[in-house]
A and B are shown apart, each in its own frame.
Chain A
Amino acid sequence: MHTQKRLTPFFFLAPAVVILALVGIYPLVFAAWVSLHNYLLAQPNIPHDFVWLSNYLTVIRDSSFWGSIGRTLFYLAVALPLEIVLGLAIAFMLRRGRWAHLRGFARVMLVIPLAMTPVVTGLIGRLIFNQQFGVVNYVQTSLSSNKIGTEWLGNPTLAFVTILVLEIWQWTPFAALIFLSGLTAVPAEVEEAATLETRSFWVMLRSIQLPFLLPALTAILILRTADILKQFDMVYTLTSGGPGSSTELINLYITRIGLRGAFDQGVASAQALLMLVLTTVLSRLYIRYLYKGDNA
């Protein structure tokens, strides 16, 4: 009876753990093996020699690799704060005041960007930022004296701006909805009592609403950071990393080395494992310091 009781959690957990280990850990072990070998997909006849850490040395010396990491961190550093600030502003707009119907409708419609397939977001971006007949350029040329449309996706800086615009378009509603559900938890009596003391928006925000907004902020920080570091689909469809490598985020770079251009699996696996170390450290820190769950 006693051993049976001790084994109970094992039976509940085993199926999920076994499957997840098979699809999640086993490939990682294989990737670690590949990263220590000479592994060129394009030349299958060359033997897969053991090359010690030379693939890792290649990666560490590779300025394009660090460039793509820097680009990804820059993308994170611009997009995330903007999503948070705009999301908070929208949450306050949706929360109360007049226009009840409009607010209710907007609140429901904010779900659309969240559900939108990122691939399709990228395709729409190609259409509306098109140089010849895109809507953005139409508005721009009508408003300014510049009668030649801007080449949004052909210019390195503007292409980066474009992927940021679409990122912020798609994920600000996510921040807004999470903040809104945080604000809904603020007790009405507390807030009414506070309005007798102060009319300042900032005082209200800091002393009354902040405790309810912090968990929402934590959630947004954790989930958006994770997803931005994983970003691939939308940028792949919109620019494929170009022009040049101006929008090549880390995941686009790794897949180009491993699967799309160079087909150097050894080096790409080394890059991927370094990336894994980076994200694991980051998510550990995030979960430990921000997500104060019972388990962390």
Chain B
Amino acid sequence: MTTQQNSAAAIRSADQLAVLRARRGSTVKTALHGVGLIVVLFGTLFPFLWMVLTSFKTGAQITATPPLVFFEGTLDHYRTILGDQYNVGQSLITSLIVSVSATALAVLLGTPAAYALARFEFKRKDDLWFWFISNRFMSPVVIILPVYLLASQLKLIGNPGLLIAMYLTFSIPVVVWICTDQFRSIPRELDEAAMVDGASPAFIFLRIALPLALPGVVVSSILSFIFSWNELLFALFLTRGSGVTAPVKATSFLSGYDVPWGEIMATGTLIVLPVIIFSLLVSRHLVQGLTMGAIK
């Protein structure tokens, strides 16, 4: 009787021990998981936060060792870069005009093309699709050389229209890639029903297919806008003087011997902050857009 009780107690305590062990194991695991998440979060955010922090430091505070985390901030760098000497405000406006125009044109030209690729049958359709997509892979370096030569002969260097046209080399493919998939996902029966009713292809595209493909249009516009806003290579060689885009302006501060760190970081903050706020607002769409077109 007693031995039985004893062994039962032993079994119970062994069970409890196992449970305790498992629980301790999972506590350790949970703790490590939390630490890992904090490390990832810190690593992701640190460069961005450090830039913003630096933009509010005085020159002496920036070069201080150890680096300062708490300090009395200043807005001087922002005043300087928005003043006449640096004129970053104008570059931001140029960037905005160029990015919005390139995106709008890409949607205007790209969505009908995507619709045709998704819906109609014609010869060499696959090759055409591949040609659109392959532009996404083409290095801008390949076209910047001839475009620079042609534009200097035609005295087009510095013309924002030229830059917008060059941005179409990547924004049209993005729109075509994402929207072709989107149009394919819409049931064909909807088009066919409208066709039976005598609707023209243009009407079907504009009134039936396009509204249903709106998520794809939104996602590809977001991507096209961000790509254009962030672009450097074309802008570096095709804009100049007061017509440069914001990324080109930011690199121009590095040329002197004395690097104006505060001004550079303030400019960097003004360039990335709007895009980051915008991206956080649409983050769900953005992630979807990065995978759409690439994942089926």
Contact = CB atoms under 8 A, between A and B. Distances in A.
Contacts of B154: none
Contacts of B283: 108, 111
A133 B67 contact: yes
Contacts of A30: 146, 149-150
B120 A8 contact: yes
A204 interface: no
A102 B109 CA distance: 42
A10 B120 CA distance: 10
A114 B271 contact: no
The secondary-structure label for the interface of chain B is: helix
B169 interface: yes
B237 to A, nearest CB: 6
A232 B230 CA distance: 12
A34 B146 contact: yes
B138 A13 contact: no
A13 B128 contact: yes
A15 interface: yes
B142 interface: yes
Interface in B159-180: 165-166, 168-169, 172-173, 176
A90 B51 CA distance: 24
B10 interface: no
Nearest to A99: B34
B101 interface: no
Given A230-B139, A295-B129, A181 B37 contact: no
A236 interface: yes
Contact of B149 (A34, A169, A284): A34
B78 interface: no
Given A12-B116, A275-B141, A106 B41 contact: yes
B5 interface: no
Contact of A138 (B36, B66, B279, B288): B66
A241 to B, nearest CB: 13
Interface in A96-123: 97-99, 102-103, 105-106, 108-121, 123
Contact of A8 (B37, B146, B165, B201): B201
B28 interface: no
A229 interface: yes
B209 to A, nearest CB: 11
A212 to B, nearest CB: 10
A125 B168 CA distance: 30
A37 B295 CA distance: 43
Given A93-B33, A181-B287, A182-B295, A28 B146 contact: yes
B295 A279 contact: no
Contacts of B139: 229-230, 251, 272, 275-276, 279
A35 B160 CA distance: 27
B112 A219 contact: no
A280 B37 CA distance: 39
Contacts of A229: 137, 139
Contacts of B147: 23, 27
Contacts, number: 302
Given A133-B62, A230-B139, A20 B37 contact: no
Contacts of A119: 230, 232, 247, 250-251, 271
Contacts of B17: none
Chain A interface main SS type: helix
Interface in A64-119: 90, 93-94, 97-99, 102-103, 105-106, 108-119
Interface in A250-296: 250-251, 254-255, 258-259, 265, 268-269, 272-273, 275-276, 279-280, 282-284, 287, 291-296
Interface residues on B, range: 35 or more
B132 interface: yes
B160 to A, nearest CB: 15
Contacts of B38: 102
Interface in B78-130: 108-110, 112-113, 115-117, 120, 122, 125-126, 128-130
B65 to A, nearest CB: 6
Nearest to B295: A215
Contact of A115 (B33, B173, B276): B276
B43 A123 contact: no
B120 A9 contact: yes
A275 B226 CA distance: 26
Contacts of A295: 125-126, 129-130
Contacts of B193: none
Interface of B: 30, 33-34, 36-38, 40-41, 43-45, 47-48, 50-51, 54, 62-67, 108-110, 112-113, 115-117, 120, 122, 125-126, 128-130, 132-150, 165-166, 168-169, 172-173, 176, 184, 201, 205, 226, 229-233, 236-237, 247, 250-251, 254, 259, 261, 264-265, 268, 271-272, 275-276, 278-280, 283, 286-288, 290-291, 294-296
Given A12-B201, A15-B112, 16 more contacts: A10-B122, A19-B165, A19-B172, A99-B37, A112-B48, A116-B275, A120-B250, A132-B65, A169-B44, A177-B290, A216-B291, A219-B295, A230-B140, A251-B139, A284-B130, A295-B126
Closest A-B pairs by Cβ, 6 of them: A219-B294, A12-B116, A16-B113, A115-B279, A9-B120, A283-B137
